[in-house]
Homo-oligomer: A and B are copies of this chain.
Amino acid sequence: MRLGEIGEFGLIDRIAGKVAAGAGVRLGIGDDAAVTETEAGRLLLSTADMLVEGIHFDLSFTDPFRLGRKSLAVNVSDIAAMGGHPRHALLCLAIPTDLPVEFLDRFADGVISLAEEFGVTLIGGDTCRSSSGLVISITLHGEQVPTRIIPRNGARPGDDVFVTGTVGDSALGLELLRRGERSGHAVERHLNPSPRVSAGLSLAESGMASAMIDVSDGVLADLGHILTGSGVGARIDASLIPLSPYFSQRAPDVAPDPLSLALAGGEDYELLFTAAPGRTAEVETLLAACGVTATRIGSIVAGSDVTVTAADGTLIPPRRRGFNHFAP
C-alpha cells in the first residue's frame, strides 16, 4: 500500500493505534502538544537523536522492525547514561513517498516493541514527506530525582574507569554487513543494540558512579567527553578492554588492528563510567544483579592526557578516536 492512499493522518492513526496507555500521560498522540506529568521531586531528562538513511543506516543491511527498535534504543541509551528512567517519546519521520505503508507498520512495531520493553510510551511527533531518503528523529524523556542523576563531569583523579559488557562488536558487525554477512552476534549487536537501562539505574541508585556516558562514538571518544567535562585525564590498560569471544575470533579477519576497532568503534551502547577507587568488586556485584558484566579498564588521572598501555606497559598510540560526522 502507498502512503498516498492513507494520507498523513491515516499514518498517524495507524501508529497511534499501536500505542497502549502509558503512565504519566494525560494527553498522548493527536493534539498540538502531548501532556505528561513528571513525578513530584523528579527532574526531566530530554535527549534527541536523528538517524538519516545513507548515513546512519542502510536499508539493505537492516529490516524495518530492527531499524525501529534501534532508533528508539539509541535514545533510551542516552537516558540510561544519565541514570534515568526512560518515559515518553516523540517520533518524527520524513518519509520518501514511495516507501510502502507495510514498511512503516513494521518500523512502528519495532519502535513500540522496544518502547514496551523499557516502559516508554509514544506521546507525539510529526510525519512529513522526504525529498530523498528516510529521516528519523526521536526525542525521549526520562526522569530521575536530582541527587541520582549521573552527569559526565563528575570524574575525579584516582577514580576507576569501567565499561559494561563488551565493546567493538557493533563496529565489527557493521564491517561484516559491508562484506555481505547478515547475521551473527556482531551483526545483531549492530542492528539491534540493547540499552543498559537497569545497569544505569542501579548505578544511579547506589550512588557509586561519579560520571557516566554511553558508548556511541567509541570508547576513547566517549571517554574523552567525560575527561573534558570533568577536567581530568585517564590511563587505559588495553589488555583489560572486554571483548566478546566472537569479536576475538572474527575481528582479525576484517580489521588490521582489532584493538583500535574495539577502542574507536562506536554504537556499542554500553555504559562507560567512573567510580571511586577500591570498589571494583562492589561495582561488579551490583551490575551482575542486572545481568551485565562490568570491567575495570583503567583510572582517572590529573591533567588532560589519555594514555593507552599494553599489558607490558608500552604505550599504544590510539589511531582512530571515534566518529566525527563532519570530518573532512
Contact = CB atoms under 8 A, between A and B. Distances in A.
Interface of A: 2-9, 11, 26-27, 30-38, 40, 43-50, 52-56, 78-79, 81-82, 84, 88, 90-95, 97, 123-133, 135, 137, 139-142, 146, 149, 151-153, 212-214, 229, 324-328
28 contacts: A4-B326, A4-B328, A7-B324, A7-B326, A26-B43, A26-B146, A27-B151, A30-B229, A31-B151, A32-B47, A32-B152, A32-B212, A33-B78, A33-B84, A33-B142, A35-B43, A35-B45, A36-B43, A38-B44, A40-B40, A48-B91, A50-B126, A50-B135, A50-B137, A54-B131, A55-B128, A131-B133, A135-B135
A37 B30 contact: no
Contacts of A4: 326-328
A328 B139 CA distance: 29
B11 A326 contact: yes
Nearest to A136: B137
A90 B95 CA distance: 21
B131 A88 contact: no
B326 A6 contact: yes
A215 to B, nearest CB: 11
A88 B34 CA distance: 14
B129 A55 contact: yes
Contacts of A43: 26, 35-37
Contacts of A30: 152, 229
Contacts of A37: 43-44
Given A6-B326, A78-B32, A55 B130 contact: yes
B326 A46 contact: no
Contacts of A2: 328
Given A8-B325, A78-B33, A79-B33, A48 B131 contact: no
A103 to B, nearest CB: 14
B127 A325 contact: yes
B326 A8 contact: yes
A28 to B, nearest CB: 10
A325 B10 CA distance: 11
B48 A125 contact: yes
A46 B149 contact: no
B48 A44 contact: no
A141 B139 CA distance: 11
A139 B142 contact: no
B324 A32 contact: no
- For the complex of A and B, list the 5 residue pairs with the smallest distance between their C-beta atoms, beginning with the closest: A137-B137, A132-B132, A4-B328, A54-B131, A139-B139
